[in-house]
Amino acid sequence: MNAKPLYYIALGDSITAGKGVPEGAAYPNVLFRHLRHSPDCHLENLAISGLTSGELLTLVRNRFAQRLASANCITLSIGGNDLLRRLITGHRNPYSYVRAVQQLWPTTAALMAEIRRHAPSARVFVLGFYNPYPASWRGFRTTEWLIRRLNREYAARVAGPCVEFINLQEILPRASQGWLCDGVHPTVAGHRRIAGALFDAYRKTLPKELGSGRLIPSAYRGPRGVKPKSAS
């Protein structure tokens, strides 16, 4: 039995767009290289730096609708511009963060509904949040707790058939210690680690007769317990 050609669409903001890393090093590109099994496979990275969840929803309803109809694999990474900027000031204005969370959930629900409307049988992988702030920052522990709760609720809200949640707080623990290139965006090693988690999740969704694609080497997968090289 031959596998259907992969048509992978990546939705997101600057993380998915690969800000701060060389062209081709972002996690969608790394993942695609290892899932591609024929010349007919296709990757379309529709990420836009600075995008919010509301702006992405508008694009999905309009400009991206026809493209999504062709997809059988979709990754979604959005919300950082809605939320994470507020965490650094949350101790001064917690209501700002609470309002942002309250606005994110209905937008996320609408996004998932639109994705499902245009690509009802696609496998959808939703990426959660990581903590970009250094452990030396006085609000680090509070931020860790907030993101942990946020990821738990996010996973519950997007749960459904053919949907997998990827908790980036687990994939990039203490992200500022070598996984980030500019204090916000993942390094090449960070993107490889994200791609590895997505690859593992994708393989679990495949029927055995279709095979499992080409294994991402351990250097790409970034297994737990392996520390990133410190940036020099």
pLDDT in tens, 62-103: 999 999 999 999 999 999 998 766 655 554 565 666 777 888
Contact in structure between 29 and 186 (CB atoms under 8 Å): no
What pLDDT digit, counting tens, does each position of 25-39 carry? 999 999 999 999 899
Torsion sign over Cα 40, 18, 62, 110:
positive
Strands (E), the chain: 7-12, 42-45, 73-77, 123-127, 163-166
Is 129 in contact with 150 (CB distance < 8 Å)?
Answer: yes
Share of the chain above pLDDT 70, in %: 81
The rounded distance, in Å, linking the Cα atoms of 217 and 222 is 9
Q: Looking at the domain that runs over 7-221, which CATH code has it been given? A: 3.40.50.1110
Residue 163, SS3 per DSSP: strand
Collapsed DSSP state (helix, strand, coil) of residue 4: coil
- Give the H/E segment covering residue 108: helix 94-118
pLDDT at site 218: 39
* pLDDT averaged over every residue in the chain: 85
pTM of the model: 0.86
How much of the chain is in helix, strand and coil states, percent to nearest 5? 45, 10, 45
Report d(CA 27, CA 90) in Å as an integer. Answer: 30
With a cut of 90, say whether residue 7 has pLDDT above it: yes
